A and B are shown apart, each in its own frame.
Chain A
């Protein structure tokens, strides 16, 4: 179903990033667009007195959640059931998908409308249901666009950030019958509005994600700007909400902290247009919550990586990341891209995602903007140690590290390596400035120094 997904599953980050980098103008545009969003975030954040206190409070609340997750889950389940919500537990992606399928079967429905849920991307729900003859229509505009293009989202908040409006115009021309060559965002959005209104009014089952679930009250909150989650849920007879077990927060008053942080970090808005609190099913309707583990309990056991479960999916780490901005979301070949995704993915499959913790400069910008203070770059560094120890590093990387280790381990070999490197760059630069050297791609090589600091020091010290 998703051509791009199939293609991605066999290639690593650097290969996919290379493909993205072939079109330099597009890379620059992608880079600048995301940096602009990062700047909007800064502007808004700087207007909030006590922003750092908010981050600290959010971080501590999430630490508390992880340390009492068992109790909070039971408390949430009890209160949600008392509210009339049907609660389901899914140990993994397959069980989650089966539960959704069973609910559809029980209702005798073969069509569903779905608002944004990265969890269902993680679980491969759309593909699973398609194989079973169920039609799923994504209702977030960006997600609908990538769905029509048979691609996965490339960003958790901005699913089609990699697409130009002309390409979107062409997709709409093919699938929704707009005139060829029309790419005005206003016109395309209006077309999608009319197309999806018809879907909202005819679908009897709607699935949404969950931004926050409150243990104390058994309710959950869904945030959108478009209003698509609400349109789907309130016009359907059955509302299914899928959530990872880490989405819990203890008390309703904690929502204040997280709703203040979420959108300011994500897009620089003070709050999403809609922040909807679902507590009971509407009279005569059904409300289901599926609590999904899918590896989260394992991540909870990893002391070095459990903090990644504090994530509230704002996407700030992606917008600021120099690697994400220039490699594109699809290069991460996983549902959640960017720095946080590179910590979450190896937990699910160490071999398949062994490349991701290396897709970082470890500059730490991600950790600086994270609203819940996850030490993202430190965890990326730690994953590298784990992956190499477990034998998941590539042969080339191992050989290179081995040579470096040898060169750095004795002063003689170090001096010799430096000297020969400088000689080659001065006398035979073509040995460096050729296509075989990955450092030469999109870069100029520096002029080599005449001597090393060691040589200079030895010479000058004698003079004094």
Chain B
């Protein structure tokens, strides 16, 4: 450590990055467009029943659906065994989670541990479904960190689309180790 101190160059000041903090509103159209381009799906809904209906239509009546959200407790409880360890999540078909907001420039949503049940849930599930409020779209990552600043979390993650890889001859394959699909339900104000 003393070597680091001895070898580091004379102090250079940090740049002013407030230039990136624009007054822009996040564009829903841009968010949805980018999310589609990275392999995600987008649905506009106005209540929770619409969400469960869409999920059951897509994944079938026997799908194992897990959600930490109180709104879906009854719906999930009657379908599943209780989950006590992250390893019990190995056969989850759909994880249904709430994100804090979405980022228009890259289609990512911000999720934190409090809304995950287990940290492994958004990754181990076969399909990921995320709900965001229609108002909760920011334009860029600068605006995103403005919102994150001052919040507390043990673990947080930006997720933009389904898990993917292009490691074999640069052929894009959806569904590497994480979710095979990502659907964002944009909740319109009631």
B87: which A residues are within 8 A, CB to CB? 201, 235
Q: How far is the CB of B91 from chain A (nearest CB, A)?
A: 11
B142: which A residues are within 8 A, CB to CB? 253, 256-257
Of the listed residues B86, B159, B169, the one surrounded by the most CB atoms of chain A closer than 10 A to its CB is B169
A252 at the interface (CB under 8 A from B): yes
Of the listed residues A89, A259, A271, A278, the one surrounded by the most CB atoms of chain B closer than 10 A to its CB is A271
Bound-complex Cα distance A37 to B179 (A):
25
Residue of B nearest to A232 (CB): B177
Assess the B154–A279 pair: CB atoms within 8 A.
yes
Assess the A306–B141 pair: CB atoms within 8 A.
no
Interface of B, secondary structure class, is loop
Taking CB atoms and an 8 Å cut-off, the chain A residues in 292-312 that contact chain B are 293, 297-298, 300-301, 303, 306
Assess the B106–A271 pair: CB atoms within 8 A.
yes
Assess the A255–B20 pair: CB atoms within 8 A.
no
- Of the four ranges (under 10, 10 to 19, 20 to 34, 35 or more), the interface on chain B belongs to 35 or more
- Given A57-B17, A142-B167, check contact A270 B86 (CB 8 Å): no
Produce 1/0 per residue, A185-204, CB < 8 A to B: 11011101100110011000
Residue of B nearest to A56 (CB): B15
Taking CB atoms and an 8 Å cut-off, the chain B residues in 167-185 that contact chain A are 167-171, 173, 175-179
Assess the B169–A275 pair: CB atoms within 8 A.
no
Assess the A70–B38 pair: CB atoms within 8 A.
no
Assess the A300–B178 pair: CB atoms within 8 A.
no
Assess the B169–A165 pair: CB atoms within 8 A.
yes
The one of A163, A226, A256 in contact with B140, judged by C-beta atoms closer than 8 angstroms, is A256
Residue of B nearest to A33 (CB): B170
- Given A61-B14, A256-B145, check contact A197 B177 (CB 8 Å): yes
Q: How far is the CB of A278 from chain B (nearest CB, A)?
A: 6
B107: which A residues are within 8 A, CB to CB? 270-271
Assess the B175–A260 pair: CB atoms within 8 A.
no
The one of B6, B105, B175 in contact with A193, judged by C-beta atoms closer than 8 angstroms, is B175
- Given A69-B8, A226-B165, check contact A275 B157 (CB 8 Å): yes
Q: How many residues of A contact B (CB 8 A)?
A: 86
B189 at the interface (CB under 8 A from A): no
- Given A193-B175, A228-B176, A274-B159, check contact A300 B8 (CB 8 Å): yes
A60: which B residues are within 8 A, CB to CB? 12, 14-15
A227 at the interface (CB under 8 A from B): yes
Taking CB atoms and an 8 Å cut-off, the chain A residues in 213-234 that contact chain B are 225-228, 230-231, 233-234
Bound-complex Cα distance A57 to B13 (A):
11
A250 at the interface (CB under 8 A from B): yes
Assess the A270–B34 pair: CB atoms within 8 A.
yes
Assess the A188–B17 pair: CB atoms within 8 A.
no
A452 at the interface (CB under 8 A from B): no
Residue of A nearest to B159 (CB): A274
The one of A66, A158, A279 in contact with B155, judged by C-beta atoms closer than 8 angstroms, is A279
A289 at the interface (CB under 8 A from B): no
Q: How far is the CB of B95 from chain A (nearest CB, A)?
A: 13
Taking CB atoms and an 8 Å cut-off, the chain A residues in 158-198 that contact chain B are 158-161, 163-165, 168, 185-186, 188-190, 192-193, 196-197
A449: which B residues are within 8 A, CB to CB? none
Residue of A nearest to B168 (CB): A185
Assess the B155–A278 pair: CB atoms within 8 A.
yes
Assess the B168–A168 pair: CB atoms within 8 A.
yes
Taking CB atoms and an 8 Å cut-off, the chain B residues in 133-172 that contact chain A are 140-142, 144-146, 148-149, 153-171
Q: How far is the CB of A168 from chain B (nearest CB, A)?
A: 6
B108 at the interface (CB under 8 A from A): yes
B157: which A residues are within 8 A, CB to CB? 230, 274-277
Assess the B4–A227 pair: CB atoms within 8 A.
no
B161: which A residues are within 8 A, CB to CB? 273
A234: which B residues are within 8 A, CB to CB? 86, 118-120, 123-124
Q: How far is the CB of A47 from chain B (nearest CB, A)?
A: 9
Assess the A227–B168 pair: CB atoms within 8 A.
no
Assess the A245–B167 pair: CB atoms within 8 A.
no
Assess the A275–B178 pair: CB atoms within 8 A.
no
Bound-complex Cα distance A70 to B9 (A):
11
Bound-complex Cα distance A271 to B34 (A):
11
- Given A186-B173, A275-B108, check contact A73 B167 (CB 8 Å): no
The one of B14, B144, B166 in contact with A256, judged by C-beta atoms closer than 8 angstroms, is B144
Assess the A255–B9 pair: CB atoms within 8 A.
no
Q: How far is the CB of B104 from chain A (nearest CB, A)?
A: 10
Produce 1/0 per residue, A347-377, CB < 8 A to B: 0000000000000000000000000000000
Q: List 21 A-B contacts (CB under 8 A).
A: A54-B20, A60-B14, A67-B9, A226-B163, A227-B177, A227-B179, A230-B123, A231-B120, A233-B119, A234-B119, A234-B123, A235-B86, A253-B146, A270-B160, A271-B141, A274-B157, A276-B158, A277-B153, A278-B155, A282-B113, A297-B7
A-side residues, CB < 8 A to B, are: 33, 36-37, 48, 50, 53-54, 56-57, 60-61, 63-64, 66-70, 73-74, 89, 139-142, 145, 158-161, 163-165, 168, 185-186, 188-190, 192-193, 196-197, 200-201, 225-228, 230-231, 233-235, 245, 250, 252-257, 259-260, 267, 269-282, 293, 297-298, 300-301, 303, 306
Other 15 A-B pairs with CB < 8 A, given A234-B120, A257-B17, A273-B164: A33-B169, A60-B14, A67-B9, A160-B167, A161-B170, A168-B168, A185-B173, A193-B176, A196-B177, A230-B119, A235-B120, A253-B142, A274-B159, A277-B153, A293-B4
